[in-house]
Chains A and B, each alone.
Chain A
Amino acid sequence: QVHLQESGPGLVKPSETLSLTCTVSGGSISNYYWSWIRQPPGKGLEWIGFVYYSGTTNYNPSLRSRVTMSLDTSKNQFSLKLSSLTAADTAVYYCARHRSDQFEYWGQGTLVTVSS
């Protein structure tokens, strides 16, 4: 069974850069798309973007200028960097395996709070 686990800081200061890592176990990172999705407290879901195992990326235009995704096949991990943080970036951040039209496996999510 594929398992995803997010890791990273729970508190980040405004204007700083958030760095999150998703570790994949129970399966290879190869041959799949890997996405980040976020959910502000009490609100809906927003797709941030994906990274393909080849390194190809596709970002949500609303965040494109601030987002960088990458992966490390040797560690079976992929990562998210989101820069110039504001309070509006406070959310639970999920990593997920993305296949054609659906997100089939999700991490448990990690709450990131942007506050000084």
Chain B
Amino acid sequence: DIQMTQSPSSVSASVGDRVTITCRASQGIRSWLAWYQQKPGKAPKLLIYTASTLQSGVPSRFSGSGSGTDFTLTISSLQPEDFATYYCQQANTFPLTFGGGTKVEIK
């Protein structure tokens, strides 16, 4: 299985801050990577797919980059509704696997 490692596991930030989350794959996955946002008690919500394509309706402050083994999710200016847990997911190889999550908390 391809292991997906996210860092940091948690981050404290303030409204307006720029936040960057990284995701590293244990082997190359080309650009087959998606990012999700999950709030407590809710299903994950797709933010970005194919590493950098913004899902329809997702604010432009979210962006993704990377290919191969190293990827980043950036929130350019953190908003109150962005405090949540973020997961990466690879789709290059079955079984599909997720990162362990990054919790973005209020500083």
Contacts and interface: CB of A to CB of B under 8 A. Distances in A.
Interface in A90-104: 94, 100-104
Interface in A30-58: 35, 44-47, 58
Given A101-B34, A104-B46, A60 B91 contact: no
Please indicate which of the listed interface residues A61, A94, A101 has the most CB atoms of chain B within 10 Å of its own CB. A101
Contacts of A100: 49-50, 91
Given A45-B87, A107-B43, A108-B43, A101 B50 contact: yes
The contact size tier of chain A is 10 to 19
Given A101-B50, A103-B44, A107-B43, A47 B34 contact: no
A46 B46 CA distance: 16
A74 interface: no
B46 A103 contact: yes
Given A94-B43, A107-B43, A102 B95 contact: no
Given A58-B94, A62-B95, A103-B34, A44 B43 contact: no
A44 B85 CA distance: 10
Nearest to B50: A101
B43 A109 contact: yes
B91 A106 contact: no
Interface string A5-28: 000000000000000000000000
Interface of B: 1, 32-34, 36, 42-46, 49-50, 55, 87, 89, 91-92, 94-101
30 contacts: A44-B87, A44-B99, A44-B101, A45-B44, A45-B87, A46-B98, A60-B96, A61-B1, A61-B95, A62-B95, A94-B44, A100-B49, A100-B50, A101-B32, A101-B33, A101-B49, A101-B50, A101-B91, A101-B92, A102-B34, A102-B46, A102-B50, A102-B91, A103-B34, A103-B36, A103-B44, A104-B49, A104-B55, A106-B44, A106-B45
Interface of A: 35, 44-47, 58, 60-62, 94, 100-104, 106-109
